[in-house]
């Protein structure tokens, strides 16, 4: 299965690259934000969904995915999100999203909540190199303030967004997403913590998790995905790291309120560096489980379109309109002679589409054709 997923992503990327060889690829744009909170310039990257600027589409608004370690994670993750969400893949496992990659020049500062001299094995740093490796931590709260007070407002001012935020991090970034869930619940709607460095400060935030979860205040649905390498592939120095992730998963299972939904994913045949790709795919599947539904169901009963997307707010905490892509595919199937032509059902689908996208050219044209049929 892993090889199949990776192969499909590579084939998809190659096909897109070939198709756009002469016009260039849209792999996002780089921006600089002058942060008063951090007192420095910060780089971030933004990739808009394929439908965002397409003139064939009416204006839509989108969830936002914030990805830590933008320089390394942003570009490969774009391929996964594109494959799982866009019309060209005929694949609607997840919604189209605005993807924001946040660069972290000093990871130990930005992605750790407090200073510590405890190593990944839980032991005290002893040698000079160990002490140097652990030096400079504890800027996580300042980074969180930069994200919530400066970057959020910039993104939500510049782009069409819906109030749904996703937070993705690996390693120290996975520590950051887990810490944010526990200490600042409700700021994000969903999280991916990929082989997160929950060993930080001798597992401090894992030890505090039961108390945080039992005293939970947020009422919104929070979905949290944790991945971890198989312990059989973890070296001696990583066993404490692996145990901490399992302990957080247990706390989430035992102590979390009903609106905090979590999954632990033990991924075999990976290590700390190679685990992100499968975690992105598996994690997105989990976060948006129940989002995808066969368009054949909508073709059989177009009235299900609205009820399905309305129900997502109750099941996974995602409040959004039915995507124009999905409505257009259903409408195509209900009007194409070689598919499942049905005028009455097609009219229902078209009217639902125009309710949300009154200026959509394809839907308007199909409605005109349908109304001309006697």
CATH class of 2-287: alpha beta
Please identify which residue in the block is written with the tokens 């204006």. 59
Average pLDDT, stretch 278-288? 97
Measured CA to CA, the distance from residue 335 to residue 79 in angstroms comes to 32
How far apart are the C-alpha atoms of 111 and 71, rounded to whole Å? 15
Q: What is the pLDDT of residue 206?
A: 98
User: Taking the alpha carbons of 272, 166, 109, 104 in that order, is the dihedral positive or negative?
Assistant: positive
Nearby residues of 273 by Cβ (< 8 Å), 6 or more positions away: none
Alpha helix positions (H), 86-134: 107-110, 128-134
pLDDT at 102 over 70: yes
Is the pLDDT confidence value at 137 over 50? yes
**Lowest mean pLDDT, pick from 12-16, 38-42, 177-181:** 12-16
Q: How sure is the predictor about 338, in pLDDT bands with cuts at 50, 70 and 90?
A: confident
List, for residues 206-237, the tens digit of each pLDDT value: 999 999 999 999 999 999 999 999 876 666 66
User: What percent of the chain is predicted at pLDDT more than 70?
Assistant: 91
Q: What is the pLDDT of residues 20-47, one digit of tens each?
A: 444 556 789 999 999 999 999 999 999 9
Torsion on CA atoms 47, 329, 295, 359, rounded to nearest 10: 70
CA geometry: angle 349, 353, 357, nearest 5 deg: 170
Token duo for residue 117: 């001299």
Q: Sketch the domain layout of the chain as residue ranges.
A: 2-287, 295-372
Model confidence pTM above 0.75:
yes
Contact residues for 123 (Cβ-Cβ < 8 A; gap 6+): none
What Å distances lie between residue 224 and 169, 238, 283, 284, CA to CA?
Answer: 12, 23, 9, 10
Structure confidence by residue, pLDDT tens digits, 114-134: 999 999 999 999 999 999 999
> What gap in Å lies between CA 82 and CA 96, rounded to an integer?
8
Place of tokens 């009154």: 358
Give the pLDDT mean for 358-364.
Answer: 93
Dihedral angle at the C-alpha atoms of 262, 266, 267, 270, nearest 10 degrees?
120
Give the confidence band of 10 by pLDDT, cuts at 50, 70, 90.
very low
Q: Is the pLDDT of residue 374 over 80?
A: no
Q: What pLDDT shows up at residue 234?
A: 62
- Over residues 164-173, the pLDDT tens digits come to 999 999 999 9
Whether 333 has a pLDDT exceeding 90, the answer reads yes
Q: Is the pLDDT of residue 182 over 90?
A: yes
CA 120 to chain centre: 27
What's the sign of the alpha-carbon dihedral 47, 50, 53, 58? negative
| Mean confidence (pLDDT) of the chain | 91
Q: Please report which confidence band the pLDDT of residue 108 belongs to, taking 50, 70 and 90 as the band edges.
A: very high
Strands (E), 221-336: 222-229, 260-267
| Alpha carbon separation from 55 to 12, 18, 50, 162, 271 (Å, rounded) | 23, 22, 11, 20, 43
Q: List, for residues 233-268, the tens digit of each pLDDT value.
A: 666 668 899 999 999 999 999 999 999 999 999 999
In this prediction, residue 301 carries a pLDDT of: 94
Mean pLDDT (whole number) for 106-115: 96
Per-residue confidence (pLDDT) for residue 13, from 0 to 100:
45
Which of these, 189, 165, 196, lies nearest to 102 by C-alpha position?
165
Of all residues in the chain, the percent with pLDDT exceeding 90 is: 79
CA distance 140 to 117: 16
Integer Cα distance of 58 and 356 in angstroms = 9
Buried b (16+ CB within 10 A) or exposed e, 290-310: ebbeebeebbeebeebeebbe
pLDDT of residue 235: 63
| Buried-state track 131-144, b at ≥16 Cβ within 10 A, e below 16 | eeebeebebbeebb
């Amino acid at each position: 299965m892993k090889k199949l997923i990776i192969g499909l992503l590579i084939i998809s990327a190659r096909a897109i690259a070939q198709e756009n060889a002469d016009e260039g690829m849209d792999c996002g744009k780089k921006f600089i934000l002058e942060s008063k909170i951090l007192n420095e310039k910060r780089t971030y990257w933004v990739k808009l969904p394929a439908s965002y600027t397409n003139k064939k589409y009416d204006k839509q608004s989108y969830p936002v995915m914030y990805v830590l370690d933008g320089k390394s994670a942003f570009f490969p993750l774009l391929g996964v999100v594109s494959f799982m969400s866009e019309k060209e893949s005929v694949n609607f496992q997840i919604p189209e999203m605005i993807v924001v990659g946040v660069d972290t020049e000093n990871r130990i500062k930005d992605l750790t909540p407090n200073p510590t001299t405890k190593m990944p094995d839980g032991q005290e740093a002893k040698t000079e190199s160990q002490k140097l490796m652990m030096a400079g931590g504890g800027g996580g709260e300042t980074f969180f303030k930069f994200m919530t007070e400066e970057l959020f407002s910039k993104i939500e001012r510049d782009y069409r967004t819906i109030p749904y935020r996703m937070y993705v991090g690996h390693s120290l970034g996975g520590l950051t997403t887990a810490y944010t869930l526990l200490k600042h619940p409700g700021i994000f709607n969903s999280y991916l913590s990929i082989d997160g460095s929950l060993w930080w400060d001798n597992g401090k935030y894992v030890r505090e998790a039961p108390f945080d979860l039992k005293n939970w205040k947020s009422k919104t649905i929070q979905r949290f995905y944790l991945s971890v390498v198989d312990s059989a592939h973890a070296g001696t120095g990583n066993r404490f790291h692996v145990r901490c992730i399992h302990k957080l998963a247990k706390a989430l299972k035992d102590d979390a309120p009903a609106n905090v939904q979590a999954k632990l994913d033990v991924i075999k045949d990976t290590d700390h560096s190679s685990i992100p790709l499968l975690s992105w795919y598996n994690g997105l599947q989990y976060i948006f489980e129940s989002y995808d539904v066969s368009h054949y169901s909508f073709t059989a009963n177009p009235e299900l379109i609205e009820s399905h997307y309305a129900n997502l707010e109750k099941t996974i905490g995602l409040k959004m309109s039915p995507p124009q892509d999905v409505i257009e595919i259903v409408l195509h199937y209900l009007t194409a002679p070689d598919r499942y032509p049905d005028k009455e059902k097609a009219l229902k689908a078209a009217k639902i589409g125009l309710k949300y996208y009154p200026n959509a050219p394809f839907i308007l044209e199909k409605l005109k054709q349908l109304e001309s049929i006697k």
